[in-house]
Amino acid sequence: MELGKPQGKLESGAAALGWRAWAVTQTSRGVRLASLLFDHLWLPGEPAVASCLRHEDPFAPTFDAHEVATLVECSCGFHAARDPADALSYLHGRDAPSTFCRVLGEVTLWGEVLQTEAGWRGTLAYPARLYVPDPLLAEELAVYGVSVSSAGCESPFSPTCTGTPSRSARRSPTSSVTTST
């Protein structure tokens, strides 16, 4: 998520509440939230801990070792947008085969938090509220212990839906919506 130029660090101990999108994937332990861009599951009851993955990108400039979310030139850390509209574009895109939808939500960032023009990036994160496309999925995501809101959608592609089915999913185990590949 591109959030603009860094503006400075939040004071120690401060947290930020922002918006982001997650992939929803089926695991052996049930439905879980996952990163849209990296191979990372968000585990219920545990803060997500960021690491710098720049070394995995052969085209990215290299930086000396640094604390996550503290180097202005690096984009490492968990990202959260100030405005939900900035996170909405991440509800669409290429998904892993295990992904059956994407959802929008609010996330709390803490630890080292860098403020940017349009949001924040931080070292620790946990969902604060989730907005999902159907009540059955809301029940399954309740395992995170946060508020989960669901609104019925006339169509899975309606602009008022807060989650959209993945093109790679044949049928969501939590929804009666069928998509084709």
pLDDT in tens, 88-135: 988 888 778 888 899 999 999 999 899 989 899 899 999 999 999 888
In angstroms, the Cα distances linking 98 to 34, 39, 85 are 10, 12, 26
Confidence (pLDDT) at 5: 74
- The predicted model scores a pTM of 0.75
- 149 Cβ contact partners less than 8 Å away, ≥ 6 residues apart: 129, 130, 131, 132, 138, 162
Q: Are 22 and 33 in contact (CB under 8 A)?
A: yes
pLDDT in tens, 54-71: 556 656 666 666 566 555
